[in-house]
Structure 1
Amino acid sequence: MTKNNPIGLFDSGIGGTSIWAEIHELLPNEDTIYLADSKNAPYGQKSKEEIIALSIKNTEFLLNQNCKIIVVACNTATTNAIKELRAKYDIPFIGIEPAIKPAALHSKTQTIGILATKGTLNSELFHQTAQQFHNTKIIEQIGHRLVPLIENGAINSPEMKQLLNDYLQPMIDANIDYLVLGCSHYPYLIPQIKKILPKKIKIIDSGEAVARQTKNILQEKEILNEENHKAKTIFYTNSDPKVLEEILKNKHSVIKKDF
């Protein structure tokens, strides 16, 4: 494995591009390959066995592209499958899980909200993390229908607005002061969410932390690309590429259909 090999990322769709953007900004010299498994989105409604099988399939694809490290840019895949991936493959994996810790540590009201998929909220890893902060009340909400709407380009639709209102109002009523976004798709909803939440409620996602951890592991393994060159990114999708193109604004990318 050389420093010039690309970083691989996969998600159940376009959501993990929010993680890719943070990594690309922090590590501008790194080539990246992103796999959007939109055909199988959302992972949050699938069984643990299905999620593991899809994660293995995605990993195999990225390994065939000679990736030096793989970022599981999906909360559901991380919380359900990363343990199995690390046991199966001799390559570093970076996971993404809901940022409960910073929210719980900084909360003044001792009440935080988390908006995530069913697969993440039901996972063993999530429950292990949440139990560490038993003095903090955690208001959990499954984001039913949010991922399919994002995947279909309906971020600003009336249905999205109604769903977010329904999901967030009980959290506001419970006096949360932090909202944790527990799905890599959800950062694309921040403008919508900010219209609903009082300004005193802070929104936390995991993107920056994942980018920093990726850099740390690359340095630790001595495979950080320090050459100053224009990085290449290839995005693969097995669904209609139009929504991915719109999200990316065609700034950095080559988009390939199917994998």
Structure 2
Amino acid sequence: MNNRPIGIFDSGVGGTSIWKEINGLLSNEDTIYLADSKNAPYGEKSEEQILQLSIKNTEFLLAKDCKLIVVACNTATTNAISYLRENYDVPFIGIEPAIKPAALQSQSKKVGVLATKGTLSSSLFHYTSKNHASGIQIIEQEGTGLVKLIEAGMANSAMSKRVLEIKLAPMLAAEIDYLVLGCTHYPYLIPVLREMLPENVKIIDSGEAVARQTKSVLEQNGLSNPSEGKGKHHFFTNADVRILESFLKGEKSNVKTAFLDF
């Protein structure tokens, strides 16, 4: 059982930012990644649609004999992970905006959150904000359009920069000192964000924390792979494989990609 792969799914290529953190920490583990790019972005869909897509993705990964599933999508986590945990007999790791560490470290007491509509409107997001950001001004901005640009390989384009200028304006006016990225696609915008933000503004995402939690849950459940060799990784997408491959440049030859017609 311990040699079975870790399953990871996202509404597209964004979750590869999470995969890279997991692979960096757990390089001996095999992984299977599912990019549901055909249905991206999840953040603009209804809660029921998000739930049904999450169920579909989960059952695909379970059919591949995954021992643990990482929901590498903020929107899917906030809208579906409770159902998934109640109805499937494997551990699930979720992801949500890293508001707590940002709130604890902020000196200005003003934190920006860039996320999808589906995440910002969820009860889990509001619970986290209320319980871990007391006394902190949270400036929320929906990143409408950004996921589609990233999925199209346009993270560093002039259009992305124009969208970000609009989204960042209220945060800069409020003089934030932390920007929380509340979507796994958004770490691919960091090079552009670094150019646009003052040097004192720190950018924080959840990738490293998710990797550590994955390691912890594997150990707690006796699921860690004892092998010391490098893991093998399979990536599936229901959109252009070349886009997915472009996000995996520089990875080792044990990474394989495939088109999935569903």
- TM-score, normalised to structure 2, is 0.97
Distance 2:192 2:168 in 1: 11
Tell me the residue number matched to 1:129. Answer: 128
Residue 91 of structure 1 corresponds to which residue in structure 2?
90
Q: Which amino acid aligns with 2:13?
A: I
Separation in 2 of the partners of 1:240 and 1:99?
A: 30
Give the alignment's Cα RMSD to 1 decimal. 0.8
Residues 1:206 and 2:206 are matched in the alignment: yes
Spell out the pairing of 1:1-259 with structure 2 (5 A cutoff): 2-132=1-131, 133-249=133-249, 251-252=251-252, 253-259=255-261
Q: Deviations over 1:191-239 (max 9, x none)?
A: 0000000010000000000000000000000110121112100000000
Letter of the 1:159 partner, please give it. M
Please give the per-residue CA displacement for 1:94-142, whole angstroms capped at 9, x wherever unaligned: 0000000000011111100000000000001000001112310000000
**3-state DSSP class of the match of 1:144?**
coil
Q: Unaligned regions of 5+ residues in structure 2, if any?
A: none
Q: Deviations over 1:48-70 (max 9, x none)?
A: 00000000000000000000000
Structure 2: which amino acid aligns with 1:258? Answer: L
Q: Alignment partner of 1:239: what SS?
A: coil
Alignment partners' CA distance in 2, 1:156 and 1:228:
37
Aligned length: 258
Structure 2 residue matching 1:155: 3-state secondary structure: coil
Q: Distance in 2 between matches of 1:96 and 1:189?
A: 18
Describe the shift of the 1:50–1:62 C-alpha distance in structure 2 as closer, same or farther (beyond 3 A).
Answer: same
Q: What do residues 73-108 of structure 1 show as CA deviations (whole Å, max 9, x unaligned)?
A: 000000000000001101100000000000001111
Q: What letter is aligned with 1:50? A: Q
- Counterpart CA distance in 2 for 1:238 and 1:195 is 33
Percent sequence identity is 61
Give 4+ residue runs of structure 1 displaced > 2 Å after superposition: none
Where does structure 1 lack aligned partners over 5 or more consecutive residues?
Answer: none
Deviations 1:156-178 (A, max 9, x none): 21110101111112201101000
Kindly provide the amino acid, as one letter, of the partner of residue 192 in structure 1: V
For residues 49 and 4 of structure 1, what CA distance do their matches in structure 2 show?
Answer: 34
Q: Distance in 1 between matches of 2:192 and 2:251?
A: 24
Aligned-partner SS, 1:248: coil
Q: Which amino acid aligns with 1:8?
A: G
Amino acid corresponding to residue 226 of structure 1 in structure 2: P
1:9-46: CA deviation from partner (whole Å, max 9, x where unpaired)? 00000000000000000000000000000000000000
CA distance in 2: counterparts of 1:154 and 1:106, whole angstroms: 32
Deviations 1:174-196 (A, max 9, x none): 01000000000000000000000
